[in-house]
Structure 1
Amino acid sequence: MTTTSKDTRVPVTILTGYLGSGKTTLVNHILTNKDHGKKIAIIENEFGDVGIDDALMAKNTKAHIEEEIVEMMNGCICCTVRQDLVVVLNKFAGRIASGNLKLDCILIETTGMADPAPVAQTFFVDDSVQEHFRLDGIVTLVDAKHIEQHLDEEKPEGAENEAVEQVAFADRMILNKMDLVDKADVERITARLKSINSSAPIITAEKSKVSVDLVLDIHAFDLKKTVDMDPEFLNTDNEHEHDDTVSSICVVEDKPLDLDTLQRWVNYLLVNKGTDLYRMKGVLNVADSEERFMFQAVHMIFNGNFDEPWEPSEKRESKFVFIGKNLDHAELKEGFLACIQTPDLVAKRKLALRFAVGDAVECRTADGYVPGKVTQHLYRDDFMPPGVTAPYQIQLDDGKLIWAPEDDDKYIRAKDALFAEKKAKTEA
């Protein structure tokens, strides 16, 4: 009678999914979930040469396993930095063998442009990796709002459609952002995913919130099934080829940004370039704010908020990453740098205002429009939200000081404007 010894190798999950599908959000969810009690190492890969996800996860990694966060930069993990993955894993193996590190599992968060197959291949073609680590499963995040667009995208000859590959090689799919689609959309998308990969279970989620047990140590990867699907899976001579029309640009700047100018520019990009801008994300140093502004966008869906205060020892700088198709790098960099708060920019904003200091105006209050006069341009005080500068401070006729949030008739207008409007209508 023979017995099979328990596999003591460290299980490794490959977390993949197209740009903006919610991978970093899922990693954050795992890091903040204390119930699983697992010692996890995170290996994350950025497509460009400036890291953003490390900052997006900073709060949670500090509280959890900061010393085991490894970031691999300036390339896609499925091709140019694949050997770096082997180096990182072998370092982990050495520390485990020496007794200096205890790991229950490893989570590899790939860039959204990664084909998971070459990453998975690493666990079968490198002897040292295969000895110490077990590929546990490929978990693919699917952006329910945008997945069809990416599955249908035409690629240049020879280039693979990464979104299709990520679905095809999944051992488990998480259909994310369910709050952004309706029932008919879900039925259609599910059928489409099943037509590509009928064997992978599909789990639905909002904001990447799923049980950790559905992601880690799931014993889902089946080498025979994978080779049956892709006979060339273990062929190391086949190189993954990206669509060279897709690129990234990373901008780093230490001068503070003007929030109003930044918001207007980002809104312009979302409206006019959203189709080709697959992903935008940033950690921004905004003028008149002691907090970092964390920013993410997927096509035309935007999410941004002021996060934690800058640490005293932390360098206050902005990092902005764009990933998309046919990007004009010079235009994007110029637009970003135009958001720096300079004396010229401040002067330009003042010149664009409709009312001069001293002008008689009417301001909308809880009591309706109340007369007053402009006392200051681009006003700010400590009670205002981070980064916000009001176009006007106004002194009402009763002496009270207020500020107008926008230079718009909804909030501030010329004195007697309503009377003049009624008079014009009567005369007409």
Structure 2
Amino acid sequence: MDPDRKVPCTLISGFLGAGKSTLLKRILTERHGYRIAVIMNEFGDTAVSSSAKAINVSSTDNEAGELSEQFLELANGCLCCSIKDTGIAAIENLMKRKGAFDYILLETTGVADPGPIAAMFWHNEEYAMGLGNDIYLDGVVCVVDAVFGEQQMTEDATDDDIGTSQRQIACADVILLNKTDVPTEEQLTRVEILIQSCNSSAPVHRTVRGDIDLKHVIGINAYKGKSFEDLLHGLRLHDHDHDHDHGEEGHVHQHGPLYTSVTSIQVDVPVINEEKAQKLDEWIRSVLWEGILPGEGTPQNDGSKKLEVLRCKGVFCLESGEVNVLQGVRGMYEITPIRAAAEDDTVGVTEVGKLVFIGKGLGENMRKSLLDVLQ
């Protein structure tokens, strides 16, 4: 490993009991060929099996003399760290061992909203103590309980606020539907429909006790530039052949009695000129920062629902041939040119891009407002 290479960091979120610790235990104890540093909220007999055969233990005490973090170097090449804070201090100490691992997995608490954490890692590369020089955000993985997921998604949300489990799903780049050996196929389908109502662009993988090929969890490169075709493929719907209601040029999810306060909108983007690109930037600022559609003059949208975007992403081409990528978490976003079309054989000036917005209060008027900017 190049010691100057930035280490990719993946956030693992999920509601209480979904199976995050089971997934991480599997990573820490099985021989999979990856060198991964796993940062858990805490570990013990239930989190790291004795079969892991820890070969070294070190700890750091806080000012009160209590254990604040503990490192276990494991026989399978992984490194485990237990934390009792937000993880920044633990990552600082972990990066002193840079070169001993190739990936970092950071577990968030079951009641944590990963959005602010993701924004910190992704956008502010010089945050905290300069960790942006050593790591970058690879993506957010959300573990959903196949047994209680439907109940959690529908019960912890209100008309005034988005539930924690829905925020976790909305922010995810990959979703693991865990414990799929317990429910019926009909129950699994209902949960998947709810998940796709919240986040239509994230692939959903069914798992049992966190058993999954790690290529779906690490190295997903969700926030970095790829080829136009790869970026567009990542934005295509993963609807598992369910019957969704498609608009002519966009996509709005909502499913009768299966209700989530978070929905997603997808809009095709034709090749646009520089002027329209500037108007698109202004439109995004209005939606993300002010919670209003341009020209409405009120933070209320879709009746009594407040417009709140949790995640946005997309890719589109300019008439000049330049390819631009949109990435956003909450109020932080950036539109980054990745290359000119001439440098990529898969891209031409006729290529149609796509924008995805995930949040609360998204509706048909938002889609129409965006299309007015693009057309």
TM-score normalised according to structure 1 size: 0.45
* Residue aligned with 1:166, SS: helix
Aligned counterpart for 1:57 among listed residues 41, 48, 51: 48
User: Residue 218 of structure 1: CA displacement?
Assistant: 2.0
Q: Does 1:12 align with 2:14?
A: no
Looking at structure 2, the residues matched to 170 and 155 of structure 1 have their Cα atoms a distance apart, in angstroms, of 18
Code of the aligned partner of 1:13: T
Aligned counterpart for 1:39 among listed residues 29, 35, 42: 35
Are the structure 2 counterparts of residues 90 and 154 from structure 1 closer, same or farther at C-alpha, using a change threshold of 3 Å?
A: closer
CA contact (8 A) 1:12 1:136 kept: yes
Looking at structure 2, the residues matched to 192 and 155 of structure 1 have their Cα atoms a distance apart, in angstroms, of 13
* Residue aligned with 1:179, SS: coil
**Residues 126-205 of structure 1: matches in 2 within 5 Å?**
126-127=125-126, 128-154=130-156, 160-205=162-207
Looking at structure 1, the residues matched to 219 and 329 of structure 2 have their Cα atoms a distance apart, in angstroms, of 24
Per the alignment, residue 19 of structure 2 pairs with 22
CA contact (8 A) 1:86 1:122 kept: no
Per the alignment, residue 215 of structure 1 pairs with 217
Per the alignment, residue 118 of structure 1 pairs with 116
Code of the aligned partner of 2:313: K
CA contact (8 A) 2:170 2:198 kept: yes
**Residues 68-79 of structure 1: matches in 2 within 5 Å?**
68-73=79-84
CA contact (8 A) 2:28 2:80 kept: no
User: Residue 217 of structure 1: CA displacement?
Assistant: 1.8
* Residue aligned with 1:181, SS: coil
Are the structure 2 counterparts of residues 159 and 53 from structure 1 closer, same or farther at C-alpha, using a change threshold of 3 Å?
A: farther
User: Residue 219 of structure 1: CA displacement?
Assistant: 1.5
Code of the aligned partner of 1:57: V
**Residues 75-114 of structure 1: matches in 2 within 5 Å?**
81-82=85-86, 85-96=87-98, 101-114=99-112
CA contact (8 A) 2:14 2:142 kept: yes
- Flag the structure with more relative contact order, 1 or 2, with Cα contacts below 8 A and sequence separation at least 6: 2
CA contact (8 A) 1:171 1:221 kept: no
1:123-175 C-alpha deviation (Å, 9 max, x unpaired):
13251122110111111111011011111124589765210011101100111
Q: Which has the larger radius of gyration?
A: 1
Are the structure 2 counterparts of residues 52 and 107 from structure 1 closer, same or farther at C-alpha, using a change threshold of 3 Å?
A: closer
Are the structure 2 counterparts of residues 212 and 118 from structure 1 closer, same or farther at C-alpha, using a change threshold of 3 Å?
A: same
* Residue aligned with 1:14, SS: strand
User: Residue 122 of structure 1: CA displacement?
Assistant: 2.3
Aligned counterpart for 1:206 among listed residues 205, 208, 213: 208
1:290-328 C-alpha deviation (Å, 9 max, x unpaired):
xxxxxxxxxxxxxxxxxxxxxxxxxxxxxxxxxxxxxxx
Per the alignment, residue 279 of structure 2 pairs with none
CA contact (8 A) 1:32 1:60 kept: yes
Looking at structure 1, the residues matched to 140 and 9 of structure 2 have their Cα atoms a distance apart, in angstroms, of 9
1:68-120 C-alpha deviation (Å, 9 max, x unpaired):
322222xxxxxxx33xx222222233342xxxx42111111111111111221
CA contact (8 A) 2:9 2:135 kept: yes
Are the structure 2 counterparts of residues 179 and 64 from structure 1 closer, same or farther at C-alpha, using a change threshold of 3 Å?
A: farther
1:175-222 C-alpha deviation (Å, 9 max, x unpaired):
111111111112221111111101100111111111122212222246
* Residue aligned with 1:163, SS: helix
* Residue aligned with 1:125, SS: coil
Are the structure 2 counterparts of residues 94 and 52 from structure 1 closer, same or farther at C-alpha, using a change threshold of 3 Å?
A: closer
TM-score normalised according to structure 2 size: 0.50
Q: Does 1:232 align with 2:229?
A: no
User: Residue 63 of structure 1: CA displacement?
Assistant: 4.6
CA contact (8 A) 1:61 1:69 kept: no
Are the structure 2 counterparts of residues 92 and 228 from structure 1 closer, same or farther at C-alpha, using a change threshold of 3 Å?
A: closer
CA contact (8 A) 2:174 2:203 kept: yes
* C-alpha RMSD of matched pairs (Å): 3.1
Looking at structure 1, the residues matched to 164 and 332 of structure 2 have their Cα atoms a distance apart, in angstroms, of 15
State the aligned residue count: 212
Are the structure 2 counterparts of residues 219 and 203 from structure 1 closer, same or farther at C-alpha, using a change threshold of 3 Å?
A: same
Code of the aligned partner of 2:89: V
